[in-house]
Chain A
């Protein structure tokens, strides 16, 4: 009889421990879902090199001193530009959905 009581005590212990660990697992899962909800970020869309190359030609057409190259989603600007024309050019370039813009322009 004593042994049986001990066995059932053990069983209860194991069962309770199992429940607790299950509970923990559930909690972890819920918090994972919650954190992804909070950030809610779709990955940034980067245009293809082909589209960037085509559009960058239009964007730099009126800046004769500026050369632009496209590699792996990055646009690199070289050459020279007047300081007060730079923000407008950068706005046009960054509006093409590049991964990043490397500005090597000499600013006059």
Chain B
């Protein structure tokens, strides 16, 4: 119960920002918040509140797992690496060989979102393979 009091602001923000399938649970003094945010901005805002309540996430008493809603097949996505190219791989995993690259800020097409970490994408040059979701934002 104490954990929920500490993170009241975070819980209220999650409840008030249109997150679907929101679940707030406490188990063994860890607060678990799960759901699907309508966009990346909502997710970033929750992380900013969490960082404010628990500076640098030191307390190990929250698992915040709010995902941005999956991109539908055919969606155009922008490559949001910091500056480098994004690897496109044969399979969904960094142990898979690269089959090509997408440039920073390049627009690619989502073929399908394979899982929470990886999507099958296709570039305008026709390279098809798997890329890490963290670097893909709906354009």
User: How many cross-chain pairs have Cβ atoms below 8 Å apart between A and B?
Assistant: 57
Contact in complex: B58, A90 (CB < 8 Å): no
Which A56-72 residues sit within 8 Å CB-CB of chain B? 57-59, 61
Q: How many residues of A contact B (CB 8 A)?
A: 27
**Total contacting residues, chain B, CB less than 8 A:** 26
> Which of B32, B48, B62, B67 is the one whose CB lies under 8 Å from A87?
B48
A41 touches B25 (CB 8 A): yes
| A102–B57 alpha-carbon span in the complex (Å) | 9
Nearest CB of chain A from residue B90's CB, rounded to whole Å? 14
| Of the residues A54, A91, A103, A107, contact of B43 by C-beta under 8 Å | A91
Chain B: residues with CB nearer than 8 A to chain A?
A: 25, 27, 30, 32, 43-44, 47-48, 51, 56-58, 60-65, 67, 93-95, 116-117, 132, 134
